Structure 1
Amino acid sequence: MSGDTAERPIRVALVAHDIHWEGGMERAMAELISTAPPHVRFTVVSATLAPELRHLVEWRRVDVPRRPFPAKFTAFYIRSARAVRGLDVDLIHTCGALTAARADLASVHFCHHGYVRAARMLSAGGPPLRRVNTTVSRLLALAAERVAYRPSRLRLAACVSDGVAREMHVAFPGLVTAITPNGVDSAHYRPDPATRAAVRDQHGAGAATVALFVGGDWNRKGLPIAIEAVRRARRGGSDVVLWVVGSGDVGRMRREHGGGVEEVVTFLGAVKDPAPFYVAADVLVLPSLYETFSLVAHEAAACGLPVVGTRVHGVDALVTRGEGGLMVERGAEAFAEALVALAEDPPARRRLGDAGRRYAHAHPWRASVRAVTGAYDELVRSDRGDAETPGGARRPSTSAGSRSGSIESRNGTTGQRQGSRPPMVANRMMTGVRRASATVGAMTGEARSAVALTAAGRSRARLLTDVFVYRAIRGHLVTRSDTAVRTVTLRDGQRVRYRRNRGDLQSFREVFYDRHYEPLPGMTARTILDVGANIGLTSIWLARQFPGAVIVAVEPAPDNADLVRQNAVLNGAQVTVVEGAVACTEGTTTFAASAESNLGRLAEGGDLVVRTTTLARLLDSFPSGRADILKLDVEGAEAEILLNDDGALQRVGAVATEFHPQVTGVADAVLEEALRSAGFTEARGRGQLTTWWWRPEWDWGSTDPPSAAVDDG
């Protein structure tokens, strides 16, 4: 965060229907208010606000009818916009598409366009009046999304999962997104043997396997499937019962499932705190049609409860990455088979529960809040005209494209703001002057660096031209995806090949202008592993710093990997390119490419299938089995690599890495502790974004002579 942003407060208008400690999006907004850093100051525009939060904010209450929901939604949509209009704030943050006001950031906890596409219906069933109410509510929400999520009306969509971000890109092309996952309170949601025994005794569970269903909207979340699955499991001889926590039409469930349902199902109703039931149950069942993050699944996992769920957003990551349960088809037979398997295998339940708990612990609420407030900082930095942070800090976006522009020019449509601020036209002029001044200052500094770096003549002129083009790209005056290859010769004789797009130019800045990978004093290297090589600039930079070093560069994007090879050949560097990605296991995964060449990342549903290898396998490619330096810049995949280390890090002398909490939702502190546990000591390098972690006791320079044996991908 820049010094300017740190010293000056950020005033945020937070617009939400309700903010309290129950539910999903309501809880997320409550956590944001209660744990945001002091420089973030909220004015809350909402219908309700938990009493214990009111002293932390300025509250503008919006009076709306509680029901029916279409009436509440419509009234809030209009009245909240009026309430926002007169506020003196820096940013407007909405909890979804629920107001007629333009916004800077919208937290997307539910994408109605995504739901309709997944469900192929507007309502998931129920009594006729409820279906009418749900259908009208859905139509209103769809219309509101079409208005609110236009790129001209919203600067950043903060999505709670990769899946939601993909849905937003499909439904609203051109919209900029960031990943800001929800969190879990692991101090509250945790195993508790005493509570488990008491709750099971209270409800007569005995030795039965208790399957737990938590939530409302029973048709969407699949309660009828859960009931039928438990009945089938019992007919197969398994002693399984179902507890249902949440409100719904109990009478209808009893009528539809016939006699004997009370022997199978215990309806517990709505509860303020589901934690005791998580710790008392044996497995969570979630036959949901659509989820975006599933706070319930993550809370259950934090309590050590394995999850049996469908392939919906949030649950898929918990089960596939976190190995916290089983993923099955959405049907009673598939769920019954999974329940029988877990009922008969308590060790498997414990193993899955332990894995899920570790995964949930890596997603604390403080990381969620940090991702959101980090987005605030970036948006306000753009508004205030600050130059880019040293090294070209990237915007909190997982897609190509970014829009800047002050909130004054976008949200103040009438009159003058409260207080002593100048009129809107003057405000826009001042913002424009500040931004222009900052841009000119940054361009001047970069031009000086270009002159100092390059050999005189054509290379110098070419790089100076591209400095201007890079700034134009930031202002969207030219295309961001220029694929023309440029070659410049540096003053020290290095030749660098790149494309004139934002990603390549930003990488050039980080490596050559800002020298992010400047070695620590006393550091030498004979073997280097460059994971997330991009176009190979770090590889050839380190090759120049450590003559004769053997380098293995890992890059999943084919176009980037080809430039790594070209840059290595141009500079006579001993670089072997592995076209793929690093993961916990060998196999394949998908890679989501970006128009900005340095922002592509591993993501489910990505457009490119790439093979994966492990850190240990790459280290084995060196005759010594070790790497003096591991450079790790993988746009979020560093969390999986560092948190699932199998001992491979013990064979690394130093790690130069950049964390991406806005992508992973994993706090920097969690990854820092993983590195410390592996024996590394932190040493801040020259780069503002990159941190060196090294072993002072490492036998620097004693590794084997240059040689590498990795098959070129």
Structure 2
Amino acid sequence: MRIGLTSIVFNKQGGISRYVVELASRLAPDHEVHILTSRYEDKVPGVIAHEEPIVWNPISLQVASNAWRNVGKIKRLREGGVDVVNSQGAEAVNSDIVTMQSCQKAAVRKFGEDRGPAYALLKALEPRNNVVLSIEKKILNRSKRVIAISESIKDEVVENYGIPGEKVRVIYSGVNLEEFNPKKKEEARREVRSKHGLGEDDIVLSFSGWEFKRKGLKYIIEALPGLDRNIKLVVVGAAESKPYKSLAERKSVGDRIVFAGHSNNISEYYAASDIFVFPTAYEPFGLVITEAMATGIPVVTTRSAGAAELITDGVDGMLLDSPYSSEEIVEKIRHILDNDLLSDMGVRARKTAERYSWESVTDQTLEVYGELVD
């Protein structure tokens, strides 16, 4: 099969771009794979890259120029005999299949409900928001199939755009079971903890993300005073950390938090930690959740995350009812530690993650492609 994929950048540094890299890597050995991108950074053998720069600022022009560029490129792919083109979200308006990694209309509504009408109005007036909504509406109506990365995203697409449910196929995002593996624990635990001055007997919580505010870092920091002093937090991500460092000092927990910055080896940080905590307010899926589970550590996250659909509360992870409660975070972490569940819950988390390999995602995705090609 001859397949076209889009990704604004082609690397493993973000959730959507990692998704496309992982998928392309598994499609390329048996199929002709074309990538439409502005930056082809992680080279994949066999992939044919169509690299062309876009306008990066302001972000509204970034989104618009990327989608507009892809219109012409998709036409040329079809003229060249490509069988099916699969775009990501608001990256095109003329692909055969769109993979919805989020639903902008639902996200704006969600934050409006949580933060009030004034915030909702500000979001509605953002140029980027209006560009994304326009593209989102067009591609959802024009595409022949929609892939949703969680049941919650499927529900949002159907509810907000009136897309027939039978047009939408749920295929959960995958996890690289070799890269994220309990076998890494011993070495990573030694090296990462030594690097950041963490003791072998410390209980290490980890958090990873680009948007600290939406993903709830504030509430983890506010939870630390309610936990034993040997419980430390490692924050991985390149977002602005200054306000969170100030909050940590005000809460007298600055000496218990490591701001590690960006890492190209996030798997080592999961492997070096005991519990992954991710109290996100809105997360269409959350690859970090299944990556941590695959590493064999318990995850504490909210029901607002798409990946929470894969977790059985209290069995292979812990689910928070509220994304805004530091008290509930304390309660869930204490439950794991007081009941000596670190090891058993971690083992069960790994078993759950094993059901969602990228190989499985690739097979399911090919089934959807085949429906159009046949």
Paired letter, 1:297: I
Aligned partner of 1:148 among 134, 139, 142:
139
Paired letter, 2:318: L
> 2:204 maps to what in 1?
210
Aligned partner of 1:33 among 24, 27, 31:
24
Distance 1:335 1:322 in 2: 13
- Could you tell me how far 1:111 is from its partner in structure 2? 1.5
Paired letter, 1:356: A
Report whether the alignment pairs 1:167 with 2:159.
no
Change over 3 Å in CA distance of 1:116–1:56 after alignment to 2: same
Change over 3 Å in CA distance of 1:79–1:27 after alignment to 2: same
> 1:254 maps to what in 2?
245
Paired letter, 2:214: R
Change over 3 Å in CA distance of 1:322–1:20 after alignment to 2: farther
Report whether the alignment pairs 1:294 with 2:286.
yes
- Could you tell me how far 1:311 is from its partner in structure 2? 0.4
Paired letter, 1:82: G
Paired letter, 1:118: K
Change over 3 Å in CA distance of 1:293–1:86 after alignment to 2: same
The one-character-per-residue Cα deviations of 1:205-236 (angstroms, maximum 9, x if unpaired) are 22221111111111110111111112332xxx
Aligned partner of 1:201 among 194, 206, 219:
194
> 1:81 maps to what in 2?
71
Distance 1:21 1:254 in 2: 27
- Farther-moved stretch of structure 1 (267-276 vs 323-332): 323-332
Distance 1:353 1:208 in 2: 17
Change over 3 Å in CA distance of 1:37–1:123 after alignment to 2: farther
Structure 1: unaligned runs, 5 residues or longer: 1-9, 382-713
Aligned partner of 1:115 among 75, 83, 107:
107
Distance 2:105 2:123 in 1: 18
Change over 3 Å in CA distance of 1:314–1:322 after alignment to 2: farther
Distance 1:37 1:63 in 2: 24
Is the contact between residue 322 and residue 358 of structure 1 (CA under 8 Å) also seen in structure 2?
no
Greater share of helix: 2
Report whether the alignment pairs 1:339 with 2:329.
no
Aligned partner of 1:309 among 281, 286, 301:
301
- Could you tell me how far 1:38 is from its partner in structure 2? 5.0
- Could you tell me how far 1:120 is from its partner in structure 2? 2.1
- Could you tell me how far 1:195 is from its partner in structure 2? 2.1
Change over 3 Å in CA distance of 1:358–1:321 after alignment to 2: farther
Distance 1:186 1:363 in 2: 9
Change over 3 Å in CA distance of 1:376–1:267 after alignment to 2: same
Distance 1:51 1:351 in 2: 36
Is the contact between residue 322 and residue 356 of structure 1 (CA under 8 Å) also seen in structure 2?
no
Change over 3 Å in CA distance of 1:281–1:109 after alignment to 2: same
Is the contact between residue 230 and residue 339 of structure 1 (CA under 8 Å) also seen in structure 2?
no
Distance 1:181 1:37 in 2: 20
Match of 2:264, SS? coil
1:480-499 mapped onto 2 (5 Å cutoff): none
Is the contact between residue 123 and residue 135 of structure 1 (CA under 8 Å) also seen in structure 2?
no
Paired letter, 1:339: I
Paired letter, 2:154: A
Paired letter, 2:92: T
- Could you tell me how far 1:177 is from its partner in structure 2? 0.5
Distance 1:335 1:313 in 2: 15
Taking only aligned residues, the RMSD between alpha carbons, in angstroms, comes to: 2.5
Paired letter, 1:307: V
Match of 2:297, SS? coil
Aligned partner of 2:54 among 48, 61, 64:
64
Is the contact between residue 33 and residue 56 of structure 1 (CA under 8 Å) also seen in structure 2?
no
Is the contact between residue 150 and residue 307 of structure 2 (CA under 8 Å) also seen in structure 1?
no
Distance 2:273 2:42 in 1: 32
Paired letter, 2:262: A
Distance 2:30 2:271 in 1: 38
Distance 1:156 1:67 in 2: 31
- Could you tell me how far 1:123 is from its partner in structure 2? 9.1
1:231-380 mapped onto 2 (5 Å cutoff): 231-233=225-227, 237=228, 239-259=230-250, 260-320=252-312, 323-328=315-320, 329-330=322-323, 331-345=325-339, 347-380=340-373
Change over 3 Å in CA distance of 1:194–1:257 after alignment to 2: closer
Distance 2:348 2:127 in 1: 41
Paired letter, 1:213: F
Is the contact between residue 283 and residue 305 of structure 2 (CA under 8 Å) also seen in structure 1?
yes
Report the TM-score, using the length of structure 2 for normalisation: 0.88
The one-character-per-residue Cα deviations of 1:600-640 (angstroms, maximum 9, x if unpaired) are xxxxxxxxxxxxxxxxxxxxxxxxxxxxxxxxxxxxxxxxx
- Could you tell me how far 1:333 is from its partner in structure 2? 0.9
Distance 1:258 1:200 in 2: 22
Distance 2:303 2:136 in 1: 24
Say how many residue pairs are matched: 359
Aligned partner of 2:224 among 223, 226, 230:
230
Report whether the alignment pairs 1:12 with 2:12.
no
- Farther-moved stretch of structure 1 (35-44 vs 183-192): 35-44
Is the contact between residue 123 and residue 134 of structure 1 (CA under 8 Å) also seen in structure 2?
no
Change over 3 Å in CA distance of 1:137–1:123 after alignment to 2: farther
Distance 2:8 2:52 in 1: 9
Distance 2:104 2:112 in 1: 11
Distance 1:332 1:51 in 2: 38
Percent identity for Structure 1 against Structure 2: 24
Distance 1:197 1:335 in 2: 27
Paired letter, 1:168: V
The one-character-per-residue Cα deviations of 1:452-489 (angstroms, maximum 9, x if unpaired) are xxxxxxxxxxxxxxxxxxxxxxxxxxxxxxxxxxxxxx
- Could you tell me how far 1:261 is from its partner in structure 2? 4.3
Distance 2:279 2:273 in 1: 17
Paired letter, 2:193: R
Change over 3 Å in CA distance of 1:37–1:313 after alignment to 2: same
Is the contact between residue 189 and residue 303 of structure 1 (CA under 8 Å) also seen in structure 2?
yes
> 1:531 maps to what in 2?
none
Change over 3 Å in CA distance of 1:122–1:104 after alignment to 2: farther
Higher relative contact order (CA 8 A, sep 6+): 2
Distance 1:371 1:351 in 2: 30
Distance 1:123 1:146 in 2: 25
Distance 1:276 1:209 in 2: 16
Paired letter, 2:255: E
The one-character-per-residue Cα deviations of 1:383-402 (angstroms, maximum 9, x if unpaired) are xxxxxxxxxxxxxxxxxxxx
The one-character-per-residue Cα deviations of 1:391-437 (angstroms, maximum 9, x if unpaired) are xxxxxxxxxxxxxxxxxxxxxxxxxxxxxxxxxxxxxxxxxxxxxxx
Report the TM-score, using the length of structure 1 for normalisation: 0.48
Is the contact between residue 229 and residue 256 of structure 2 (CA under 8 Å) also seen in structure 1?
no
Change over 3 Å in CA distance of 1:376–1:321 after alignment to 2: farther
Match of 2:341, SS? helix
Is the contact between residue 62 and residue 80 of structure 1 (CA under 8 Å) also seen in structure 2?
no
Distance 1:183 1:343 in 2: 29
Match of 1:300, SS? helix
> 1:530 maps to what in 2?
none
The one-character-per-residue Cα deviations of 1:427-450 (angstroms, maximum 9, x if unpaired) are xxxxxxxxxxxxxxxxxxxxxxxx
Paired letter, 1:21: K
Paired letter, 2:14: G
The one-character-per-residue Cα deviations of 1:543-579 (angstroms, maximum 9, x if unpaired) are xxxxxxxxxxxxxxxxxxxxxxxxxxxxxxxxxxxxx
- Could you tell me how far 1:18 is from its partner in structure 2? 1.5
Distance 1:276 1:367 in 2: 24
